[in-house]
Amino acid sequence: MSEAAAAAVEQSLQIRPLQAAEIDAAVALWETAGLTRPWNDPHQDCRRAMGGPASEVLTAIVGGQLVGTVMVGHEGHRGWIYYLTVEPSLRGQQIGAQLVAAAEDWLGEQNIPKLMLMVREGNDVVASFYDKLGYSRQQVMTFGKFL
């Protein structure tokens, strides 16, 4: 992308909550990025986050188009982010970093003191992204159980 095109993206970037009519576009972006898994219904994940007082889905909009998302939520002490992605052709333009900053701000407004996230083992590109944003690797194991 040329410097002029990158500047145009930066000038027109808007970050705001996802609208119900944009759920399919958000899920399509998640699928393109490889974020969905067969055991999770991404449409339901999205609606659940949009409908709760302790969660939100934030979007990056450029030129009226949804080009990025981050899901943010908390349980009262720790905030979590999920489904962070940016349209592949626009990666490297700081849109992802701005979405993370918006999620951090949202959690700050909720008085949540810590933000956590999970990166799948072997996803070195994403791990490096978070390293550059000042996140540190935690010495924990994550356990889960489907209910």
Domain ranges of the chain: 3-132
Return the sign of the alpha-carbon dihedral for residues 75, 77, 82, 85.
positive
Looking at every residue in the chain, the average pLDDT score rounds to 91
Overall CATH class of domain 3-132? alpha beta
pLDDT band at 7 (very low <50, low <70, confident <90, very high): low
Q: Exposure of 119 by Cβ count < 10 A (0-12 exposed, 13-18 middle, 19+ buried)?
A: middle
Q: Is the pTM of this model over 0.85?
A: yes
Higher pLDDT, 104 or 9: 104
Q: What is the DSSP string of 57-92?
A: EEEEEETTEEEEEEEEEESSSEEEEEEEEE-GGGTT
pLDDT at position 98 over 60: yes
pLDDT digits (tens, 9 = 90+) for 44-74: 999 999 988 999 999 999 999 999 999 999 9
